Amino acid sequence: MNSTVGLSDILLISPMIALFLTSLIPLTLKVLRGNREQSPIVTLTQGLIGIVIAIALLMVFGGAGKTAFNNGLIFDGVTQWMSVIALFAAGASMIMMYENPATTGKQFSELIFLAMSSAVGMLILVAAVDLLMVFIGLEMMSLALYLMIAMSHEEKLSKEAALKYFVLGSFASAIFLYGVAFIFGSTGGTNILSFMENASELIQTSRLFLFGITFVILGFCFKVSIAPFHAWTPDVYQGAPTPHTAFMATAVKAVSFAAFLRVIATKSLIGSDHLFDILQWLAVITMIVGNTAAILQNNFKRMIAYSSIAHSGYVLVGVITAGVSDNGAFGASGVIFYLLSYSLMTLGAFAIAGMMEKSESHIVNIDDLAGFAKQRPMLALCMTVFLLSLAGIPPTLGFFGKFYMFNAAIGEGLLWLAIWGMLNSVIAVYYYLRPIVVMYMKDGDAEIAARPLNATTVTVVAMALAIVLMGFMSGPLFAAVEKSLL
């Protein structure tokens, strides 16, 4: 095996290198200034420049299906799309951090460094096709997040959230690594590409391999909040600062599903009916648990947290479809397209919740939205777009995301999964419409916090416009995603 690292390898990982080097700039300048924080807008600008450079390099060098570092990383359409989603979510979350009371202040340089370091882990994770590289990406992403949550100015809930996330995240990583050990024992390697061709036979003939794949899947189920491994999600999402919650709910979920998709794409499910059936039931249970629990919430962040659990169930339907389909590109395209739409609308909903927080410990309840439409008609309209899109109401992007994913499932004979998805979407309409009714039909004095929020406002309006416009252009957009995966 040739173990030399060539220039082509370096060029392929140049987005990760650029992101890491630019993440060091705010921290280095702070050290050179005698531990004095520079202007937060300068720190934010440096971080956003790093993200723009990383996206540009990704567009230039990614997407060709090339591998790097002895087939440890692959740069194909999945890598390119998921990396862009993760970097966009990171950029939007950093803008929210700049204007949120729980995150701005004396340690803003460290926070931007950690957010960008987490994004580097995400880029490794989406490109990884060796299970050990997947583990490295997962840990780099997660460790930075644990620290980010614990650094919040809020004293009680954020510390509890960080500890819960750390303990359960470590537990999930241990399960994942245990599965990797079984796979190594049964195949003699950890590279997904090496056992992809005969995974469906291996899972029938080798109990070790079956255990390995099962444990790896369980590890991912923890990371993406699949019931019954979802219990940490509402508490962590509520306790973390809202910008971090937005980052976790979108970027972390998208890249974890990307890695999940690569493991399932080995067609292991075709060889094991039991594993196939269990995953289908987990998808259904996740949708039901997420949506029914969301109905009972009054805390806005907890409602969106439970709704994100339900959305994990929807995406799992797409992942299963890609895992059993002869044309895996169609199922995978549905997953990527859905995660793109989900990230936009969830980021927007959390951004507006963050704008209403008057202090680091302020809790935004749904009833607090009363009168918001009169006070802030533009933001209320944006919030309506986000919630309708999350509910899957046409012609928003969220509707087409569900349409393409469930259409692929029906095409593979998974009609019952698609029906459960549609039924749960109908249930979800109730709790997504509730904040809209409160905003427009109840009198109150809901108002955004009395601090400059221009950057977040621009981001929110841009995302709302993107959801509507991309909804009308969903056909060409989906075709572009599918073409990049072929």
| Distance (Å, whole) CA 335 – CA 313 | 12
Enumerate the β-bridge partners of residue 130: 191
Whether pLDDT at 77 is above 50: yes
Q: What is the pLDDT of residue 153?
A: 76
| Distance (Å, whole) CA 221 – CA 216 | 9
CB 96 within 8 A of CB 244: no
Whether pLDDT at 198 is above 60: yes
Average pLDDT, the chain: 89
Q: What is the mean pLDDT of residues 315-343?
A: 87
- pLDDT tens for residues 357-378? 887 777 888 888 888 888 889 9
Q: Which residue has the tokens 């797409």?
A: 318
Q: Which tokens in the block code for residue 322?
A: 């890609």
- pLDDT tens for residues 241-288? 899 999 999 999 999 999 999 888 878 778 888 888 999 999 999 999
Least confident of 7-11, 121-125, 219-223, 427-431: 7-11
Q: What is the pLDDT of residue 8?
A: 81
Whether pLDDT at 352 is above 60: yes
Q: Which residues make Cβ contacts (< 8 Å) with residue 272, sequence separation at least 6?
A: 203, 204, 210
State percent of the chain over pLDDT 70: 99
Q: What is the pLDDT of residue 99?
A: 86
Whether pLDDT at 447 is above 90: no
Enumerate the β-bridge partners of residue 299: 365
Residue 85: other Cβ atoms inside 10 A: 24
Residue 142 Cα distances to 136, 244, 252, 486, angstroms? 10, 12, 9, 31
Q: What is the pLDDT of residue 328?
A: 66
Q: What is the pLDDT of residue 2?
A: 53
**pLDDT interval class at 341 (50, 70, 90):** very high
Whether pLDDT at 144 is above 50: yes
CB 346 within 8 A of CB 304: yes
| Distance (Å, whole) CA 452 – CA 463 | 19
Least confident of 37-46, 82-91, 260-269, 382-391: 260-269
**pLDDT interval class at 1 (50, 70, 90):** very low
Whether pLDDT at 94 is above 50: yes
Domain ranges, ordered by start, for the chain: 7-485
Q: What is the pLDDT of residue 312?
A: 94
- Helix ranges (H only) for 188-272 are 192-195, 199-205, 207-223, 232-239, 242-247, 253-264, 268-271
CB 218 within 8 A of CB 179: yes
First to last CA, the chain: 28
Q: Considering only CA atoms, which of 213, 220, 287, 216 is closest in space to residue 252?
A: 220
Least confident of 188-197, 290-299, 329-338: 188-197
Number of residues in the chain? 486
**pLDDT interval class at 104 (50, 70, 90):** confident
- pLDDT tens for residues 159-181? 888 898 999 989 999 999 999 99
Whether pLDDT at 317 is above 70: yes
Residue 338 Cα distances to 52, 75, 223, 252, angstroms? 23, 21, 18, 15
Q: What is the pLDDT of residue 140?
A: 93
Q: Which residues make Cβ contacts (< 8 Å) with residue 479, sequence separation at least 6?
A: none
Q: What is the mean pLDDT of residues 184-199?
A: 83
pTM, whole model, 2 decimals? Answer: 0.93
Least confident of 23-37, 165-179, 207-221, 446-460: 446-460
E strand or H helix at 407? helix 397-411
Least confident of 42-46, 296-300, 443-447: 443-447
Burial 185-222 (b: 16+ CB within 10 A, else e): ebbeebbbeebbeebeebbeebeebbbbbbbbbbbbbb
| Distance (Å, whole) CA 371 – CA 199 | 57
Question: Given 3-state DSSP classes, what are the helix, strand and coil percentages for the chain, each rounded to the nearest 5?
Answer: 75, 0, 20
Q: Higher-confidence residue: 152 or 114?
A: 114
Q: Considering only CA atoms, which of 312, 286, 441 is closest in space to residue 366?
A: 441
Q: What is the pLDDT of residue 3?
A: 60
Q: What is the pLDDT of residue 403?
A: 92
- pLDDT tens for residues 206-246? 889 889 999 999 999 998 989 888 888 999 998 888 999 99
Q: What is the pLDDT of residue 56?
A: 93
State percent of the chain over pLDDT 90: 53
